[in-house]
Amino acid sequence: MGTSGREDLRETLARATRIGVLTGAGISAESGVPTFRGEDGLWRGHPPEELATPEAFRRDPAFVWEFYDWRRTLLAGCRPNPAHRALAELERVKPGTTIITQNVDGLHQQAGSERVIELHGNIWRVRCLRGCPETIDRRAPLPRPLPPRCRCGALLRPAVVWFGETLPPRALAEADRVARESEVFLVIGTSGVVEPAASLARIAWSAGARVVEINPEPTPLSSIAHDVFREPASRVLTRLVGGLEAP
């Protein structure tokens, strides 16, 4: 995209009051977060698809928790990168900004973003299998031996969406609303193939939003994007957000 296009987009962002943002693994990769796909995601010879399932947890909850304990240990050393911080700044100057993320790492909140819809949950939280009302934040080391248990005695599980599970209806409904109401919809670091998240960009496009894709690689969503940036998210967002002022 040329300089004039970037300036035009900055003007659109400056005028917009409702901005939707969809983020995927690409934005966190700049923080050193592993994608957990392919050989890099293997743990003791097992791909995530074999461990991140309700069936695997029923079969061997301790083994699944060892996998998540390993993942949490890797993530503990990761910090928000300039892209996360730029989105937090965008929310500060544009309070109508909402982030919809497919990531479970919590880096958006760590960077200061408050309006975050977590489609796939959060790896730092756990929930009780018996349905105790609160979701417990366990950023501290998990109690040993694994698997951890709730105060009621039931097993705790990671508060993430596993393969074969549906997305939380409330989060999905809220994400759909954001997509339909957005004037600008940023799609950052997502492959555009995982549904139903990928459909959110098409919903926003159909509703008249200016769709902006930020991804080093082409995706199925590239064809509907009004603006495409083939650069790292941190570089693009720092340029776009820098200098924007609160209304």
- Residues designated as active site: 120
Three-state DSSP state, 229: strand
Burial of 50 (0-12, 13-18, 19+ CB in 10 A): middle
Nearest partner of 201 among 164, 193, 31, judged by Cα: 193
> For the chain, how many helices (H) and strands (E)?
10, 9
Cα–Cα distances in angstroms (integers) from residue 87 to residues 93, 166, 176, 242, in the given order: 10, 27, 20, 10
Q: What is the sign of the dihedral through the CA atoms of 192, 194, 200 and 205?
A: positive
| Helix, strand, coil in percent for the chain, rounding step 5 | 40, 20, 40
Tokens at 19, concatenated: 């901005």
